[in-house]
């Protein structure tokens, strides 16, 4: 037994911790961030929030406006996620290394996915506003493009992970590309696809709020209006509704996931 080995391990662990702390202190000093003062401010912030940022009884008079707006936003998120998922899946099947058409396709599809994925949804919203003005369609398109990039990447990984073996087997029987897609790739990857799509719907409902502030549509715009007119009680109600909606969505998608596996 080598005693030095274990001491080395411990020292390495301590070293990494010290290094992280040092980086933290150095960067906080650089931007003038005072952690102690921030911690002291937290109770004050909570008190302010409790006083102003809670839904009042009268704010519930506006609940129907909020719910209609929230419903629109949720439906928009679902629509953009599902349509993006369809396009992403087609691209992923063509571009998969294990199962796809081969040739230049894997590289091209990966490149396209990477571009769409690495531009933030907010940036998409800003870019698209030039062409499509402040409208729901701008929000839809921004979510669509971001989701498309992200899902293409996820689907590529999923297909490569699960379908490789069965694709090879069917190729060896003399089957063509289209039958291989429907008989092997789709059945093998469908659970992962549904799971990822549900995850993107959840994420998009959250993101749609932010996009809505920019594009002046849906629940985000409503929040923006209330917030800027100092109706914090209404703004808080909006946030409460969004939180409930997202949690409900998550619960539903978890249930669906359990059923399909």
Partner 1 sequence: MDASSLLHIEGLGKDYSSKSKALTDVSLSLARGQFVSVIGSSGAGKSTLLRCINRLIDPNAGSVVFDGKDVVAMGKRELRQARRRISMIFQHYNLVYRSTSIENVLQGRLGYKSTIAGVLGLYSEEEKERAFSILEQLGLAEFAYTRTDQLSGGQKQRVGIARALLQDPLLILADEPIASLDPKASQMIMEHLRWAVDTLGVTCLVNLHQVDYAIEFSDRIIALKKGHLVFDGTPNELDARAISDIYATPYVEEKVLQEPISETQEEKVLAAVGVA
User: What does the binding site for partner 1 look like in residue numbers (CB under 8 A)?
Assistant: 165-166, 168-176, 178-184, 187-188, 190-191
Q: CB of 101: closest distance to partner 1 in angstroms?
A: 12
Minimum distance from CB of 257 to partner 1 (Å)?
15
Which is closer to partner 1, CB of 85 or CB of 181?
A: 181
* Rg of the chain (C-alpha set): 24
Nearer to partner 1, 14 or 260 (CB): 260
**134 vs 166, beta carbon nearer partner 1:** 166
Q: Are 208 and 126 in contact (CB under 8 A)?
A: no
How distant, in Å, are the alpha carbons of 80, 118, 154, 212, 220 from that of 138? 11, 18, 24, 9, 13
- Residue 101 or residue 248: which is nearer to partner 1 going by CB? 101
- Cβ-based neighbours of 197, under 8 Å, separated by 6 or more: 81, 82, 85, 151
CA-to-CA dists, residue 240 to 115, 139, 140, 213, 247, angstroms? 34, 22, 23, 17, 11
Q: How far is the CB of 106 from partner 1 (least distance, A)?
A: 17
Nearest CA among 207, 202, 238 for reference residue 139: 207
Nearer to partner 1, 171 or 206 (CB): 171
What minimum distance in Å lies between the beta carbon of 23 and partner 1?
42
Instruction: Please state the closest distance from residue 164 (CB atom) to partner 1, in A.
Output: 8
């Amino acid at each position: 037994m080598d005693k030095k080995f274990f001491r080395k391990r411990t020292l390495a662990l301590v070293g990494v911790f010290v290094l992280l702390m040092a980086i933290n202190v150095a960067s906080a000093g650089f931007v003038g961030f005072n952690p102690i003062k921030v911690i002291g401010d937290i109770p004050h912030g909570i008190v302010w929030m409790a006083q102003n940022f809670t839904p009042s009884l009268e704010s519930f008079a506006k609940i129907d406006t909020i719910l209609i707006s929230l419903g629109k936003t949720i439906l928009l998120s679902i629509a953009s996620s599902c349509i993006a998922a369809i396009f992403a899946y087609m691209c992923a099947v063509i571009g998969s290394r294990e199962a796809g058409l081969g040739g230049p396709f894997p590289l091209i599809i990966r490149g396209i996915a990477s571009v769409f994925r690495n531009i933030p949804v907010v940036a998409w919203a800003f870019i698209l506003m030039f062409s499509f003005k402040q409208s729901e369609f701008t929000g839809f398109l921004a979510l669509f493009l971001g989701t498309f990039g992200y899902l293409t990447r996820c689907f590529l990984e999923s297909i490569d992970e699960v379908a490789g073996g069965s694709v090879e087997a069917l190729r060896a029987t003399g089957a063509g590309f289209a039958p291989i897609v429907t008989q092997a790739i789709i059945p093998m990857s469908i659970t992962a696809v549904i799971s990822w799509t549900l995850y993107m719907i959840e994420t998009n409902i959250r993101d749609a709020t932010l996009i809505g502030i920019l594009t002046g549509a849906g629940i985000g715009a409503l929040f923006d209006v209330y917030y800027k007119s100092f109706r914090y009680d209404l703004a808080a109600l909006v946030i409460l509704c969004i939180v409930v909606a997202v949690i409900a969505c998550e619960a539903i998608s978890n249930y669906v996931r359990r059923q399909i596996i």
